[in-house]
Amino acid sequence: MEETQSAGHAGEQPRQFPMIDTFCEELKQFLRSLEPAPEAVQHFRNARVEMLKGMRELIDRRIENLSRRETHGKKINVE
């Protein structure tokens, strides 16, 4: 491939591999098009928070259950 010396915008470095650079730009645009809308991102974030709250509730109940258990065995008075 041949090198080019001209830059597309002021301050940019010259493109050494224009074919690869073009492919990379197209790929970046494609990947950006797959991003969900900000509203969808917020819904997914809220869902993750709710899942964590549910797990916290399960853990809290398990801790409460373990803390409440009586010791095994009974005290027997011997005469």
Give the Cα separation of 8 and 14 in Å (integer).
8
Cβ contacts of 3 within 8 Å, gap of 6 or more: 14, 16, 17
Over its C-alpha atoms, the chain yields an Rg (Å, rounded) of 31
Q: Is 73 left (phi over 0), alpha (psi -120 to 50) or beta?
A: left
Tell me the pTM: 0.48
Residue 38 has a pLDDT of 93
Residue 5 has a pLDDT of 47
Cβ contacts of 74 within 8 Å, gap of 6 or more: none
Residue 75 has a pLDDT of 79
Q: Which residues of the chain have pLDDT under 50?
A: 1-6
